[in-house]
Copies of this chain bind each other. A is one copy, B any other.
């Protein structure tokens, strides 16, 4: 291996971080939570309506353009995020530029579960993204007084841990075709929680991103996708795939 770096380390976050558009400041936006589409899926579901107002006042609703950096590995963790729209890729880089994407965050997902002082991964926007942003201290202080919020956070963390174990099985013990099939099924299921069940699976991330998530090269991802399409299991459509034969796709996952 020792690939010629396809993923150069990004510039320092203060430069790389695109100008974020803040649509709503610390005050006067509490009501926005009331019609938040992902509230029931996110941390916020642990809070009473009364608490939610106070909680919302701790956050900023903020928008990022595609490719913006939300979190930079090894930098001090200043903010934590509750994603409300768009997709974020979480990844680690090796010194020589090899990249492993450790997860894709979808609307409702929480970034910064660890509440650690230093980020253990980088995160940037796949497309335009909206989020509720908290300062780490602000959130941390609120957390002190709300054990049920901590419980919810722990619930999310252990769920992440289970997903991480799934991913270890995938990376260590599955073939390329199984990896791609499992990725499509898992992605379908994650979107289903947000948008309801559909045969159309949105894939806003690039083939390179998918490869770096599955431990494959772009070419192999592409080949496996075309193979699935040739076998009439999926159709490749703009920005995603449509599943034609759920049963066969699930069978390929080799659970």
Contact = CB atoms under 8 A, between A and B. Distances in A.
A219 interface: no
Contact of A169 (B92, B160, B255): B92
A96 interface: yes
B165 A120 contact: yes
A113 interface: yes
A158 to B, nearest CB: 4
A162 interface: yes
Nearest to A162: B120
A172 B215 contact: yes
Nearest to A145: B147
Copies in the complex: 2
Interface string A88-106: 0000101110111010000
Interface stretch (A33-41, A148-156, A235-243): A148-156
A175 B215 contact: no
A62 B84 CA distance: 47
Given A120-B162, A154-B153, A94 B147 contact: no
Nearest to A121: B165
Contacts of A199: none
A95 B178 CA distance: 13
